[in-house]
Amino acid sequence: MNKSYWIWYPGDMELYYGMKQNFSRVERGYGWPAFWKSEGFRNRIVFRRTYELEKETEFCVYSRSIGYVLAGDQKYSFGKTISCGPGRVQISVHAGCIETFPSIYIKGDVICSDRDWMAEDYSVPPVEVGYSRYFTHPEQDPSCWEYSEKIFYPVNKKSCGGGVLFEFETELTAELHIQTKKELCSLTVCCGESMEEALDPDHCYYSWHPDPDTGKCPCCAVRFAFIPRCELENVDLYAVHQYVDIPVKAAFKSSDSLMNRIWQVSEHTFRLCSGIFFIDGVKRDKWIWSGDAYQSFFVNQYLMADSDIDQRTLMALRGNDPMTAHINTIVDYSLLWILGVKKHLEAYGDLRFVRQIYPKMCSLMEFCENQTDAHGFLTGREKDWIYIDWADLDKEGPLCAEQMLYGACWKAMGDISSLLGLESSKYYEKYQTLKEAVSVFFWDEEKGAYIDSFVSGRKHVTRHGNIFAVLFEFADKDQQEKIIRNVICNEKIPAITTPYFKFFELDMLCRIGRLDQVFQTLKEYWGGMLERGAVTFWEEFDPGISQEEQYDMYGDRFGKSLCHAWAASPIYFLAKYFVGLKLPDTPGNPFSLEPRMEFFSEMHVTLPVFSGIVEINWDSRGIRVYADCDRGVLKLGGKEIAITPGEEYYEEN
């Protein structure tokens, strides 16, 4: 029997769950739906397939929608066994649903709901169906995600502040189950990412009254739970951690215990933020942000190598055409979505998905092009948000860093169009034209740097546009040297403080060979969070802020997210630049492995590559490398050795 999936119109499942995700934020007793345009799923779909049957066969269609099956010219109801053939048979399944997205499951030896079916919504030509490896059985309901669960018990319980404080070993996303001798409805459970938050009933983000029948509290981010006005012997609890079980394919252990800890905490942080989609954080906001997702694609590639979560996130973010508003209302997040598709293609060679989503890439770039000025620079409209970073940027007129991203998108469109066998020269021309205009208007020879804005006259220099100039190859070799001297190594230029933009800064430093500086930054910045007691990595960290104020952000007590996806980037830097696994920019090209052994005396690492893994083990005796996939090159001491799949390479010191 062929493998069947639940199938739907591509993107509808992602839009349905994306809306549920972006409406899930709860803050101090009230719901806070995301403040951007919400895309709806389709309510009326027809699925079509034509079969050439050698003999009579049977099949059955399952659906929770209303509708019918049309086999040839005969109609049948859902759930009925249908016989047809031999010969040519056209089958169409008509499905409609108001509450959720229409989906169907077809069970049969020959006729089954595989991914070769087509779907149409009566407005555009048929497209290949959507499906998921998580929905493969007829008894499932695609509108109800089946989370994995694991029970955790507190590692500490004590009387505190007139109540009882529970502590878990690490942060979880969990339902708390309360066990008490008192009336459940009389209890309040205050949850916190930190002990300070849980002990502050007035300012903690989550406080619940347990369900009077089950004793359950809603699923939320929790490391500490405080029950005020309660005695130690009268209450107990445990946590049911809920998660999407995406296997981790990487492992990292080295001679540097701090780096090992940074990898472990980064991994836990990232897994908590990797569910149906990549979200920013598990307490606040729990939304799908394009900038956070972009960086998650880099980490995913080296940790889980799960292409499906990339796809779901990209589909949910982009929504349907026509495009009328920027993704998350942020202009740069629309651009990072384009670059995210390119990163996904580089990581997995996923031409089928990229071909499917390519029309939405084109319409997004057309949408952006319609808001450019006379110089071809991308500008924000009223209510558009030019973000880039939480920093003092001169945003009067077009912003330099924004144009760098915009140009990178034109180049990405050219690269992807070429790989899809489509016309690409127009995109490269737009990239080159914009690149030249950026140099004319934003490069300041006297300062030896790119300025934020040429409109204001301030000639304000920040790190952001200059980092992008190196990353996205806007600066030539001479300009790069000046940028490094006048900006990157200039302490008078304000430092980057957010892990979000530190990702771009450290990536740039790695590319120009400053690995010593990056290694030290990883230890100081992420190690600094560990010294402050972090068990997951934070949205932002400033070592100059006092312990009492370290959880505040946005003018809000406990407003800082203490488990944020963009803070898991050490996985990417360690894997790519220190273990030295470089994956190709173009699908089909070989990967290279060039371990930087000067940073560690010993290392034992497994990393995903293509559809397999590569293992690297080195110590004082020598180095061993094993991979189960081909197209790999090991670079050692000036030599290049072809990696033979299934065979171990060993070299003594």
User: Does 39 share its domain with 115?
Assistant: yes
User: Does 123 share its domain with 158?
Assistant: no
* Least confident range of 60-64, 346-350, 364-368: 346-350
175: CATH: 2.60.120.260
SS3 467: helix
Residue 415 in this model has a pLDDT that exceeds 70: yes
SS3 378: strand
Residue 606 in this model has a pLDDT that exceeds 90: yes
Question: If you average pLDDT over residues 259-275, what whole number do you get?
Answer: 98
548 vs 292, higher pLDDT: 292
Residue 391 in this model has a pLDDT that exceeds 70: yes
Residue 91 burial (C-beta neighbours within 10 Å; 0-12, 13-18, 19+): buried
Select from 203, 220, 243 the last residue of a domain: 243
Length of the chain: 653
Confidence tier at 1 by pLDDT (50, 70, 90): low
Helix 400-419 and helix 351-369: axis angle, to 10°? 140
Question: If you average pLDDT over residues 357-374, what whole number do you get?
Answer: 97
The pLDDT tens digits of the residues spanning 565-593 come to 999 999 999 999 999 999 998 888 899 99
Confidence tier at 185 by pLDDT (50, 70, 90): confident
CA distance 263 to 258: 9
- Residue 523 DSSP label: I
Residue 126 in this model has a pLDDT that exceeds 90: yes
Question: If you average pLDDT over residues 427-445, what whole number do you get?
Answer: 98
User: Does 21 share its domain with 82?
Assistant: yes
Question: If you average pLDDT over residues 76-89, what whole number do you get?
Answer: 96
596: CATH: 2.60.420
Question: If you average pLDDT over residues 214-233, what whole number do you get?
Answer: 95
User: Does 22 share its domain with 80?
Assistant: yes
Question: If you average pLDDT over residues 529-555, what whole number do you get?
Answer: 94
Q: 433 CB contacts (<8 Å, ≥6 apart)?
A: 376
pLDDT score, position 61: 98
User: Does 108 share its domain with 154?
Assistant: no
548 vs 558, higher pLDDT: 558
pLDDT score, position 184: 83
Domains in the chain, number: 3
User: Does 17 share its domain with 111?
Assistant: yes
Select from 68, 100, 131 the last residue of a domain: 131
What predicted TM-score, i.e. pTM, was given to this entire model? 0.97
Contact in structure between 433 and 410 (CB atoms under 8 Å):
no
Closest residue by Cα to residue 489 from 480, 497, 498:
480
| Nearest-5° Cα angle at 61, 57 to 62 | 150
User: Does 230 share its domain with 185?
Assistant: yes
pLDDT score, position 165: 98
Question: If you average pLDDT over residues 56-80, what whole number do you get?
Answer: 97
Residue 123 in this model has a pLDDT that exceeds 80: yes
Select from 243, 270, 298 the last residue of a domain: 243
Residue 19 in this model has a pLDDT that exceeds 80: yes
The pLDDT tens digits of the residues spanning 85-105 come to 999 999 999 999 999 999 999
Residue 221's domain comprises 148-243
CA distance 64 to 384: 40
Report the mean per-residue pLDDT for the chain.
Answer: 96
Q: Is residue 250 part of a domain?
A: no
Contact in structure between 104 and 77 (CB atoms under 8 Å):
no
Residue 502 in this model has a pLDDT that exceeds 90: yes
Confidence tier at 39 by pLDDT (50, 70, 90): confident
CB atoms within 10 A of CB 182: 14
- Residue 577 DSSP label: I
Confidence tier at 631 by pLDDT (50, 70, 90): confident
